Structure 1
Amino acid sequence: MDLRRLRYFVAVAEELHFGRAAERVHVVQSAVSQQLKLLEDELGFTLIKRSRQDVSLTLLGEVFLPEAREILKRTDEAVRRLKASASGVVGRLSIGFVDNVLWTLLSPIIRDFRERWPHVDLKLIPMDRDVQVEAIAAGTVDIGIIPSPSHLAAAVKTEVLISAPLMVALPSANVLALKAVVEMADLATEPFVTFPLQMNSRILDLLKTACAGAGFTPRVAQEGGQLHTLLSLVSAGLGVTLVPKWVAQLPQPGVVFRDLADFSTPYELLLAWKGDEPNPSTVTFREVAHDVVQLNQAGASRASNP
């Protein structure tokens, strides 16, 4: 059924005048009359009674009018939702992330995104860097937050979300906590708590490189698969570890964070997504993520320089 004919019928039925109906739908009167006749022929019954004096609905026309309105309403709504989905306003978005993003970053990003785009359903999936890259390339995850560098499939695009040096997390009772700034050599005799080697963690890579640069190999006392586990081990006095700077913005009981004087290699988080035919919501998510990180860094800067 031609939707244009339905629109012409509704216009005539509501105006009860062919001339006014034609003006309303922006066509000539003869076109309205012709298309209405074709609609009646298609349906097999008369919708409009015509005379020189007036225009009125037949009984069947009265029955059909609310149905025609509903068809047009649902069609218009479907078109609006389709356009909204194409622009990232509605739809679904699956997001992979490494666990250190939970500290000060992910919550405000998700909160702001939901405030701006409440009709996009979000699915959050914690996963390590390599698993995220594989999932993005396969199309099972729309966008990921991963450390750099990473071995990327050709289809996966990235951009830097945040970059900052690592800091050392110390038990509050550790004598090094009395120093304003710690050098890597100060940690030579300290036990470390780290991610397992098989996790292929970027933080662990940077830690080992920094220790080697200071002339020692870290003595690993305990391992943990998540950052909050490592910080709990630090709080218990079992060792020290290195963490991204944004992690240090949240107080941890029994833990102090200190800058490292001779640690210059930044730890970066990337936004990663599939470059060919991406979910439109990835564009809006990236915009929100950058906005939140900029505000977060500005707030942290003000807090450290009152």
Structure 2
Amino acid sequence: MDIRLLREFLVLSECLNFSRAAERLAMTQPVLSRHVKFLEDHFGAQLLNRSTHRVEMTEVGRVFAQEAAKIVGQFEQSVAVIRACPGVGRHSLSIGFLGEATRPFLATFLGRYSERHPKVAIECVDGDLDLIVGRLEKNTCDLGFIIRPQDGLRIDHLSHLTLFSDPLCAVLNRNHPLAARDGVALADVARWPIIGIARHVSPLAHECNQLFFARHEVEYRIAKECPNLESCCFTVEFNEQAIVLLPRHRGFLTGVNSVLKPVTDAGCSFDIDLVWDAANPNPCIRGFLDDFTAFCRNRDWEADLARRFEPAVATPMTAGPVGHDRVSACAVSPG
């Protein structure tokens, strides 16, 4: 069986939305549906329950997702071991990235990079924070674009290059008592039911929000857990009291019955980082960093992100200190 089918099902099991999963996988929804039908025919069992408004995993689907994750993990680990052998993996790069936060500028950069380095094979994997960090720690990818709370949750054994900052925002129903404000404070948010991703699904997402609240000595309590951020935001569409917290770049999840408001407390922003292991022997990493730093040097991150997320909130994004000196320092001083 093609390993890609397993990866596709894992993405779909996270999104529980065919359109969203197809977008993350850079494929069409009909093709993804056909692939799922192939898997169901192959195993002779229904993996998903589909309706007009939602997609749910069957018990067989949940078991298959667990086993598929093991298979994909072992496959990636084996590939990493082979690439670590002398003379192997000298002309390839594996990159993990966060879809909406990084896809537009990364696609532009990789197009130019591929023209300059046609012999370097690029493998890109779209995933959430937990997936990318896990791949980096297992050495199954060479570089990763991650999101983390500003000045917090650094991965000490990896080198970091901060690209830009992305503010924490709250999604509220249009009829919520806080919806008329220009922004909301964490103390106010804590007085209402907070809807969040299930902790076992994305422990790092929970840790990020918890850190923001702890900084301002506010208790962080989740009233209801959902399997993904899409489900969280959909709940706000019909629940006039619920609140969902997310970074601004995911503001496109805001529905017609909800609004996005910036969190006004100091330090409530995420850093978008490029991270890598300085001890990784892959020589292509240095060339990638040099080219990417040059690409970033004259880039106006604030204007770029404002164009993509203008309908969301008026709070501007602040550009991070990107430059050749920063990259050099990170490369010799991990963390």
Shift of 1:130: 5.2
CA distance in 2, matches of 1:208, 1:107: 29
In structure 1, runs of 5+ residues without a counterpart are 1-89
For the residue of structure 1 that corresponds to 2:251, the secondary structure is: helix
CA distance in 2, matches of 1:166, 1:105: 17
Which amino acid in structure 2 is aligned with residue 295 of structure 1?
D
Contact 1:128-1:199 within 8 A present in 2 as well: no
What is residue 231 of structure 1 aligned with on the other side? 233
Q: Cα distance 1:218–1:305, how it changes in 2: closer, same or farther (>3 A)?
A: closer
Higher strand residue share? 1
CA distance in 2, matches of 1:185, 1:145: 31
TM-score when normalising by structure 1 = 0.55
What is residue 141 of structure 2 aligned with on the other side? 141
Structure number with greater Rg is 1
Which amino acid in structure 2 is aligned with residue 112 of structure 1?
F
CA distance in 2, matches of 1:112, 1:295: 14
In structure 2, runs of 5+ residues without a counterpart are 1-89, 317-335
Shift of 1:184: 1.9
Contact 1:147-1:202 within 8 A present in 2 as well: no
Q: Deviations over 1:174-226 (max 9, x none)?
A: 2321111212222233222212223554442243344454644424223233x
Q: Deviations over 1:163-183 (max 9, x none)?
A: 233111112332321111212
For the residue of structure 1 that corresponds to 2:160, the secondary structure is: strand
What is residue 325 of structure 2 aligned with on the other side? none
Q: Deviations over 1:212-269 (max 9, x none)?
A: 54644424223233x3343333334373111113333786433311122224243222
1:187-226 paired onto structure 2 within 5 Å: 187-199=189-201, 201-211=203-213, 213=216, 215-225=218-228
Q: Deviations over 1:127-177 (max 9, x none)?
A: 4545534533543201111234447474x3222122233111112332321
Q: Cα distance 1:265–1:153, how it changes in 2: closer, same or farther (>3 A)?
A: closer
Identity of aligned residues (%): 18
Q: Cα distance 1:157–1:220, how it changes in 2: closer, same or farther (>3 A)?
A: same
TM-score when normalising by structure 2 = 0.51
Q: Cα distance 1:240–1:150, how it changes in 2: closer, same or farther (>3 A)?
A: same
CA distance in 2, matches of 1:209, 1:273: 24
Give the root-mean-square deviation of aligned CA atoms: 3.6
What is residue 104 of structure 2 aligned with on the other side? 107
Contact 2:168-2:245 within 8 A present in 1 as well: yes
CA distance in 2, matches of 1:111, 1:236: 38
What is residue 302 of structure 2 aligned with on the other side? 297
1:13-32 paired onto structure 2 within 5 Å: none
Match of 1:176 among 175, 178, 182: 178
Q: Does 1:95 align with 2:95?
A: yes
1:227-306 paired onto structure 2 within 5 Å: 227-237=229-239, 239-248=242-251, 252-276=255-279, 277-278=281-282, 279-280=284-285, 282-283=288-289, 286-287=292-293, 290=296, 294-300=299-305, 304=314
1:124-139 paired onto structure 2 within 5 Å: 124-129=124-129, 131-139=131-139
Count, aligned residues:
211
For the residue of structure 2 that corresponds to 1:197, the secondary structure is: coil
For the residue of structure 2 that corresponds to 1:123, the secondary structure is: strand
CA distance in 2, matches of 1:161, 1:228: 26
Contact 1:203-1:242 within 8 A present in 2 as well: no
